[in-house]
């Protein structure tokens, strides 16, 4: 090196520029090839120290082959390192499954977002196959007892006893609610000990009967008909019923036979006089005086209405009866039975 210094000084550094440049280029090319060959090498088994050199084409073919094998093999359950539960997929896999479900339209999340069909309420949408009129007797002694029935969402019919302390007020409440009222005419029963005040009796003359019936109708304006309060003796007497029905027919009303007597002549006399008449079906709603029995009778009446097209039920202004009617409405409507005013079931003319 010391020997070259004088020469370098003599010749000049410019004469060495070309060889140095060529040397630098060669060194750079050699280093680049070495790094490229290192990147091309992949360890197949690092523990054995053996390796195989792959070209990009060979590596691409191997990747495609490995992916095909993985897709054809059954997917093993995964265990999440954080939760330790089987089948816990990674966030990326969950995202892929949600995306695939969205494309196919069968994802659970999508089905949960779909609006649930509205359940039909009881009775709504059911075809009406029978009509049932419910008449509530003995109205006129308590406005509070009447209010319980007026809160029932159905067109019940109310029978008001004339001469009772709240008769006029109750009639006004009934008409204000848009429901029907009939005159609950006191009539003589078989047992004289239970004869109600102001009753039509078999001892009365025709004129007396007609006068009393007219008086009661005048006290309760707006009633659409008449039905008997008790009357197991009077309704079996043809003369008495002729006198009663003459007034009813003259007023353009109808008569509802409560059928307190098995040998009643109401329908027969009404047909002769051309007065519209209708009769109670089945048992009284509360003849045993308990709410559970009323439920059973209402179902019986509904079945009767379905079999013959219509039916008439009669109950009394008791707390248990109002609760039973209210409780039974959804079931009756679900059976296809419609609650109607009693006048709609009367055949006129």
pLDDT on residue 30: 64
d(CA 272, CA 242) in angstroms, rounded, equals: 9
Domain ranges of the chain: 138-345
What pTM was estimated for this model as a whole? 0.65
Answer whether residue 251 shows pLDDT above 70: yes
Task: Please tell me which residue, 7 or 200, carries the higher pLDDT value.
Answer: 200
pLDDT in tens, 128-162: 899 999 999 999 999 999 999 999 999 999 999 99
Whether 308 has a pLDDT exceeding 80, the answer reads yes
- CB 163, CB 334: distance < 8 Å: no
d(CA 255, CA 272): 14
pLDDT at 127: 78
CA distances from 283 to 182, 294, 295, 307 (A): 20, 9, 12, 16
Share of the chain above pLDDT 70, in %: 63
For residue 53, give every residue at least 6 positions away whose Cβ sits within 8 Å of its Cβ, in sequence order, or none.
Answer: 37, 40, 41, 42
How far apart CA 53 and CA 50 sit, in angstroms, is: 10
Two tokens, residue 143: 């406005």
Instruction: Read off the pLDDT of each residue in 70-85 and give the average, rounded to a whole number.
Output: 44
pLDDT tens across 14-48, in order? 455 555 656 665 656 665 544 544 444 443 443 44
**Distance separating alpha carbons of residues 174 and 121, to the nearest angstrom:** 28
- Stretch 64-92: mean pLDDT: 44
Cα–Cα distance measured from residue 12 to residue 9, given in angstroms and rounded to the nearest whole number: 5
* Residues paired with residue 339 on neighbouring β-strands, in sequence order: 132
Q: What is the mean pLDDT of the chain?
A: 78
pLDDT at 96: 38
Neighbours of 213 (CB within 10 A): 23
100 — pLDDT class (breaks 50, 70, 90)? very low
What number is the average pLDDT over the span 316-324?
95
Q: pLDDT confidence of 292, banded at 50, 70, 90?
A: confident
Confidence of residue 287 (pLDDT cuts 50, 70, 90): confident
Q: How many CB atoms lie within 10 A of CB 38?
A: 9
CATH code for 138-345?
3.20.20.370
Q: Per residue in 229-263, is it b (16+ CB within 10 Å) or e — as a string?
A: bbbbbbbbbeebbbbbbbbbbeeebbbbbbbbbee
Closest CA to 228 of 205, 195, 260: 260
Give the mean pLDDT of 5-13: 50
Question: Does residue 123 or residue 28 have the better pLDDT?
Answer: 28
Residues 188, 186, 210: CA angle, nearest 5 degrees: 90
More confident residue, 152 or 50: 152
Q: Given a cut of 90, is residue 336 above it in pLDDT?
A: yes
């Amino acid at each position: 090196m010391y020997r070259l210094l004088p020469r370098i000084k003599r010749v000049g550094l410019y004469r060495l520029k070309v060889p140095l440049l060529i040397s630098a280029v060669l060194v750079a090319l050699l280093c680049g090839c070495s790094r490229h060959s290192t990147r091309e090498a992949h360890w197949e088994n690092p523990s054995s120290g053996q390796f195989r050199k792959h070209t990009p084409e060979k590596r691409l073919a191997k990747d495609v082959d490995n992916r095909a094998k993985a897709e054809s093999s059954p997917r093993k359950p995964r265990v999440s390192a954080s939760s330790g539960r089987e089948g816990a997929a990674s966030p990326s896999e969950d995202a892929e499954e949600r995306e695939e479900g969205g494309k196919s339209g069968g994802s659970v999340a999508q089905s949960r977002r779909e609006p649930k069909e509205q359940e039909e309420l009881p009775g709504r949408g059911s075809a009406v196959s029978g009509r049932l009129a419910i008449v509530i007797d003995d109205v006129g002694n308590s406005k509070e007892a009447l209010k319980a029935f007026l809160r029932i969402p159905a067109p019940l019919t109310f029978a008001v006893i004339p001469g009772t302390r709240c008769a006029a007020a109750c009639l006004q409440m009934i008409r204000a609610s848009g429901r029907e009222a009939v005159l609950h005419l006191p009539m003589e029963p078989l047992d004289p000990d239970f004869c109600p005040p102001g009753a039509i009796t078999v001892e009365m003359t025709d004129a007396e009967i007609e006068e009393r019936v007219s008086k009661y109708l005048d006290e309760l304006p707006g009633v659409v008909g008449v039905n008997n309060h008790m009357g197991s003796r009077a309704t079996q007497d043809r003369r008495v019923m002729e006198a009663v029905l003459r007034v009813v027919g003259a007023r353009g009303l109808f008569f509802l036979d409560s059928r307190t007597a098995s040998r009643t002549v109401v329908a027969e006399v009404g047909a002769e006089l051309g007065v519209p008449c209708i009769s109670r079906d089945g048992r009284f709603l509360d003849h045993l005086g308990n709410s559970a029995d009323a439920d059973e009778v209402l179902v019986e009446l509904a079945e009767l209405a379905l079999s013959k097209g219509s039916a008439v039920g009669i109950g009394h202004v008791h707390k248990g009866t109002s609760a039973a009617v209210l409780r039974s409405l959804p079931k009756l409507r679900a059976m296809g039975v419609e609650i109607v005013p009693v006048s709609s079931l009367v055949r006129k003319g």
